[in-house]
Amino acid sequence: MKNILTAPFVEEMKKVTANMYRLGWDERNGGNISYMLDTNEVAEYLDLNNVIRTIDTGFNAEKLIGKIFIVTGSGKYFKNVIDDPEANLGIIRIAEDGTTAELLWGYNKGGRPTSELPAHLMSHMARLSVDPENRVVMHTHPTHTLAMNYVHELDEKKFTHTLWEMCTECIVVFPDGVGVLPWMLCGTNEIGEATAKKMEEFRLVVWGMHGIYGAGKDMDETFGLIETVEKAAQIYMLTAHLPRINTIKDSEMVELAEFFGVNYRKDFLNL
């Protein structure tokens, strides 16, 4: 059996959480990540018959029964993952009843998965129904994206359009746009259900006055989606109070999207 601490998926979690903390996106215990793993790969590092304990997931995830995830812990700080992954991360498998998770590794100091686990699992189900390759769900609090929530209408067409105007690459990186939810109580099934509904259309969902959810096929894609939104939001916040002399025109966005062959939200443009 290989050493779990050397597993690529543990290394990825260590690197991405450290990077997100360094960028200031995940203060204190803010932010959470879940990553659906390949069962055969996990079996190289863990005895899949050894269940440490069971954990209530908070809802019925029957569509994910048997699926294995590595998940950041509740109340854990991203900055500590790199030094003590076994305390701050856990590997769980959705049990046959669909409502509990079997802990296979981690949370060794009595921890449990993020309180946003229902929202993550609901989002995984939604994204898998659209794209079976989507394996990562990432929630974070990027500074400029959050600041933009306070000075821009929380309308997903207008919000997306503004972001697309900020950087030439935006319509190419997230041509499906950005979903937007109003402020809602976090840690509840209600916000999880609302997020999952948006995830049927979008890989990115803004939680009003809170942060953003991103989904993708791997860590790089998911992080890159959020990173691109954050750069666009930063440019917006640096320029919103100034006279707009230049902008990327909608006709130019069409030119970009069609040149790169992406399926963009035509209804989010003003043509």
pLDDT at 89 exceeding the cut of 90: yes
Calpha distance 178→206 (Å, rounded) = 7
Is 221 a catalytic site residue?
Answer: no
Q: Give pLDDT, residue 64.
A: 97
Q: How many structural domains is the chain composed of?
A: 2
* Model confidence pLDDT, tens digit, residues 183-197: 999 989 999 999 999
Catalytic residue among 12, 41, 102, 116: 116
Q: How far is CA 27 from the centre of its chain?
A: 16
CATH of the domain at 194: 3.40.225.10
Calpha distance 92→151 (Å, rounded) = 40
Contact call for residues 34 and 120 (beta carbons, < 8 A): yes
| 180 and 53 belong to one structural domain | no
Residue 1's pLDDT band (boundaries 50, 70, 90)?
confident
Task: Give the relative orientation of helices 219-239 and 8-22 as an angle to the nearest 10 degrees.
Answer: 10
pLDDT at 137 exceeding the cut of 90: yes
CB atoms within 10 A of CB 237: 18
Q: Give pLDDT, residue 204.
A: 98
| 102 and 218 belong to one structural domain | no
Q: Give pLDDT, residue 59.
A: 86
Q: Which residue segment(s) compose the domain that 3 sits in?
A: 1-114
* Model confidence pLDDT, tens digit, residues 28-85: 999 999 999 999 999 999 999 999 999 999 889 999 999 999 999 999 999 999 999 9
| 131 and 70 belong to one structural domain | no
Q: Give pLDDT, residue 10.
A: 98
Compute the mean pLDDT over every residue in the chain, rounded to the nearest whole number: 97
Q: At which residue do the structure tokens 């939001």 appear?
A: 233
| 173 and 79 belong to one structural domain | no
| 109 and 120 belong to one structural domain | no
Q: Give pLDDT, residue 15.
A: 97
Of 44, 36, 43, which is closest to residue 61 (Cα–Cα)?
36
Could you tell me the pTM of the whole model?
0.95
| 110 and 131 belong to one structural domain | no
* Model confidence pLDDT, tens digit, residues 167-187: 999 999 999 999 999 999 998
* Model confidence pLDDT, tens digit, residues 239-271: 999 999 999 999 999 999 999 999 999 999 998
| 120 and 184 belong to one structural domain | yes
* Model confidence pLDDT, tens digit, residues 206-247: 999 999 999 999 999 999 999 999 999 999 999 999 999 999
Calpha distance 108→125 (Å, rounded) = 28
| 124 and 249 belong to one structural domain | yes
Q: Give pLDDT, residue 271.
A: 84
Percent of the chain scoring above 70 in pLDDT: 100
